[in-house]
Amino acid sequence: MPHVLIACSASVAAIKIPAIISELTKKNIRTTLVVSEQSKHFIDIEKIKKDYQIDVFTDQDEWNTWNGRGDPVLHIELSKNADLLVLAPLSANTMAKINSGICDNLLTCIVRAWNVSKPVLFCPAMNTQMWNHPITKVQVDKLVSWGYCQIPPIVKTLMCGDHGVGAMAEVETIVTQILKELNLSNF
């Protein structure tokens, strides 16, 4: 069974995570979720665990599972065990950290340890003004240069009331791209 690791950072688009997991579950794809601390404001991880019977990991788990030499290191295990990493949603903050190799939480440690010969999809999601800042293109281009596949944001009226580009791609678009990367498009 293919194994997809979803790395969720703190965009309001994190509210779409249950829908992504639901679609992947229907396709018999194993899903594991890693969340940044701030993203926990947008999703109910206990409900996700209960509804979909999947593992959900937070920064605290990184340290709870390691007590001394010989114990597994969670970010290394997670980066080795999954077939595909999807950064959804990808906040401006986490995108900037990944760009410069910062790894100060479970999510960014996984990205830093990920073998780039395995697929990485990223789904930026941010306010239009943030998206339009010149640094965004620089950072997106750098991730693409590493072989990461961008699923671009779309135009919408955002939660803050602004209308423009910046909303996370539709769940269907993201799931379709995951299936394609896993060569499961025909299922």
Ligand X SMILES: Cc1cc2nc3c(=O)[nH]c(=O)nc-3n(C[C@H](O)[C@H](O)[C@H](O)COP(=O)(O)O)c2cc1C
Chain residues that interact with ligand X, rule: CB under 6 A: 9-13, 36, 38-39, 91-94, 125-126
Helix (H) or strand (E) holding 163, with range, is strand 163-167
- Contact between 122 and 90 under an 8 Å Cβ cutoff? The reply is yes
Q: For the CB of residue 102, give the shortest distance to ligand X in the complex, in Å.
A: 10
Q: For the CB of residue 111, give the shortest distance to ligand X in the complex, in Å.
A: 12
Q: For the CB of residue 183, give the shortest distance to ligand X in the complex, in Å.
A: 30
Number of H-type helices and E-type strands within the chain? 9, 8
Question: 183 phi and psi, to 5 degrees?
Answer: 55, 40
If the CB atoms of residues 13 and 143 are measured against ligand X, the closer one turns out to be 13
Examine the residue annotation and report whether 149 is marked as an active-site residue of this protein. Answer: no
If the CB atoms of residues 80 and 133 are measured against ligand X, the closer one turns out to be 133
Q: For the CB of residue 48, give the shortest distance to ligand X in the complex, in Å.
A: 16
If the CB atoms of residues 38 and 176 are measured against ligand X, the closer one turns out to be 38
Question: What is the separation of C-alpha 41 from the centre of its chain, rounded to a whole number of angstroms?
Answer: 16
Q: For the CB of residue 59, give the shortest distance to ligand X in the complex, in Å.
A: 10
134 Cβ contact list (under 8 Å, min separation 6) = none
If the CB atoms of residues 2 and 89 are measured against ligand X, the closer one turns out to be 89
55 Cβ contact list (under 8 Å, min separation 6) = 32, 33, 49
Catalytic residue among 8, 103, 109, 160: 160
β-bridge pairing 56-57 and 84-90: unpaired
If the CB atoms of residues 111 and 179 are measured against ligand X, the closer one turns out to be 111
Region of 110 (left: φ > 0; alpha: ψ -120 to 50; beta: rest) is alpha
- Comparing CA positions, the residue from 187, 176, 54 lying closest to residue 121 is 176
Q: What is the set of active-site residues? A: 160
